[in-house]
């Protein structure tokens, strides 16, 4: 299949922060559709050692790709300060992402700073698992309590082809085992399902992690960014995924853990655990989306499929007070109207959007 390649460097300009009242109401803001602000995803690096074809295709993210220089990244102290301000506006969960977050030097120090500054916040991290065996104990010791690992195939040849870095699946499985041994359990395993590429392994993935306490989450192939060659024909609808699993291991839906939870939960009828389904394409969940994303260079994005973000870093480095940052965040969220997945078309799928590796999944 041919792919239209759009060589986009990360956008460095931000949208203008909406006008704010000098006395913004305290507490969590609501957007124009009544959605609150609960989850914050923080991308700590735009770099990754994988070149997954649905995220960072090598023909775009090659040796000459203009990744951000270190000075443009938020420092750990800046991340913690913004996290504290977001917490004051209602954030209850923080997920560290990338790129590959374990490539950020001293990532366990950032975990420790966040855990110390924001006790009680659900602090987690998403990784490709390549460095997890080496880092798991230190991350847990610093205060991390849960981890999500991306694993798109159990077949080594398929996995190497999808990560396009010749990285073996066995080392990711070792990382999952190390995370569990360190106390980062249950581990969540994310599988992006693409028709004709790895969809034949859906049942095998369910079988591998049934009864382990870990939770596989099957994710419909999405049109994130503008470089992954997304087509609707490549999407395996979540209903089909459930049918395949149910035919082998009877299952039934179960209640969400909280309002706005992305993955719909399914449990095996024989009590051998559960799995999740993330259906952004065929069963849009925009109406309950309560997630904000902070990019590697300090831009606030209110949707995974946004084209631009709001530049908080300039405000931060310009000497703004915490109160001014709170007003800016409340103003951005209060003006939010995003519902991309509800209005997705083949045309919008081809539109310019920020790359997922820049703001995290």
Nearest residue to 189 via CA among 149, 162, 155, 218: 149
For position 82, what pLDDT does the model report?
A: 98
For position 242, what pLDDT does the model report?
A: 98
For position 10, what pLDDT does the model report?
A: 46
Position 353 confidence tier, pLDDT thresholds 50, 70, 90: confident
Q: Does residue 5 have a pLDDT over 60?
A: no
Q: pLDDT digits over 296-335, tens only?
A: 999 999 999 888 999 999 999 999 999 999 999 999 999 9
For residues 285 and 169, what is the distance between their CA atoms, to the nearest angstrom?
31
Query: Mean pLDDT lowest for which of 103-117, 143-157, 173-187, 278-292?
Result: 278-292
Look over the chain and give the mean of its residue pLDDT values, rounded to a whole number.
91
For position 54, what pLDDT does the model report?
A: 87
For position 7, what pLDDT does the model report?
A: 38
Position 13 confidence tier, pLDDT thresholds 50, 70, 90: low
For position 239, what pLDDT does the model report?
A: 97
β-sheet with 188-193: strand ranges across: 251-253, 264-268, 274-278, 215-220, 188-193, 146-150, 122-127, 93-97, 39-43, 291-294, 299-301, 310-311
User: H helices within the chain, ranges in order?
Assistant: 76-88, 107-117, 132-142, 156-163, 169-182, 202-209, 238-248, 312-317, 322-334, 340-343, 346-349, 356-359
For position 6, what pLDDT does the model report?
A: 37
Position 227 confidence tier, pLDDT thresholds 50, 70, 90: confident
Q: pLDDT digits over 141-190, tens only?
A: 999 999 999 999 999 999 999 999 999 999 999 999 999 999 999 999 99
Contacts of 361 (CB under 8 A, 6+ apart): 41, 97, 126, 190, 224, 304
Nearest residue to 247 via CA among 203, 305, 199: 203
Q: Does residue 3 have a pLDDT over 50?
A: no
Q: Does residue 9 have a pLDDT over 70?
A: no
Q: Does residue 192 have a pLDDT over 60?
A: yes
Q: pLDDT digits over 205-226, tens only?
A: 999 999 999 999 999 998 877 7
Q: Does residue 21 have a pLDDT over 60?
A: no
For residues 309 and 294, what is the distance between their CA atoms, to the nearest angstrom?
9
For position 305, what pLDDT does the model report?
A: 87
Nearest residue to 361 via CA among 221, 255, 246, 241: 221
Q: Does residue 25 have a pLDDT over 70?
A: no
Q: pLDDT digits over 63-76, tens only?
A: 999 999 999 999 99
* 3-state class percentages of the chain: helix first, strand second, coil last, to nearest 5: 35, 15, 50
- Go through the domains of the chain in sequence order and give each one's CATH number: 39-359 (3.20.20.70)
Q: Does residue 46 have a pLDDT over 70?
A: yes
């Amino acid at each position: 299949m041919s792919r239209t390649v759009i060589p986009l460097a990360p956008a460095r300009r931000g949208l203008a922060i909406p006008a704010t009242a000098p006395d913004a109401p305290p507490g969590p803001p609501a957007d124009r559709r009544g959605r609150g602000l609960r989850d914050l995803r923080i991308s700590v690096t735009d770099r990754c050692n994988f070149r997954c074809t649905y995220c960072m295709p090598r023909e775009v993210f090659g040796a000459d790709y203009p990744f951000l220089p270190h000075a443009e990244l938020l420092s750990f102290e800046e991340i913690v300060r913004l996290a504290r301000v977001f917490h004051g506006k209602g954030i209850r969960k923080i997920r560290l992402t990338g790129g590959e977050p374990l490539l950020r030097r001293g990532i366990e120090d950032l975990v420790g700073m966040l855990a110390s500054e924001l006790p009680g916040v659900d602090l987690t991290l998403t990784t490709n698992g390549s460095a997890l065996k080496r880092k798991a104990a230190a991350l847990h010791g610093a205060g991390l309590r849960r981890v999500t690992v991306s694993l798109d195939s159990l077949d080594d040849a398929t996995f190497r082809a999808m990560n396009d870095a010749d990285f073996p699946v066995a080392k990711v499985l070792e990382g999952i085992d190390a995370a569990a041994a360190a106390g980062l359990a249950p581990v969540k395993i994310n599988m992006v399902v693409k028709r004709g590429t790895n969809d034949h392994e859906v049942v095998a993935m369910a079988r591998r992690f049934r009864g382990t306490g870990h939770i596989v989450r099957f994710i419909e192939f999405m049109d994130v960014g503008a470089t992954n060659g997304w087509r609707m024909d490549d999407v395996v609808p979540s209903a089909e995924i459930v049918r395949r699993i149910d035919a082998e291991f009877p299952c039934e839906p179960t209640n969400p853990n909280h309002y706005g939870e992305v993955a719909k939960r399914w449990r095996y009828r024989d009590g051998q655990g559960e799995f999740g389904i993330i259906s952004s394409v065929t069963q849009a969940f925009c109406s309950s989306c309560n997630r904000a994303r902070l990019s590697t260079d300090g831009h606030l994005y209110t949707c995974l499929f946004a084209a631009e973000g709001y530049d908080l870093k300039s405000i931060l480095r310009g000497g703004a007070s915490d109160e001014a940052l709170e007003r800016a965040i409340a103003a951005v969220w209060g003006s939010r109207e995003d519902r991309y997945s509800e209005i997705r078309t083949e045309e919008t799928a081809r539109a310019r959007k920020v790359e997922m590796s820049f703001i995290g999944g």
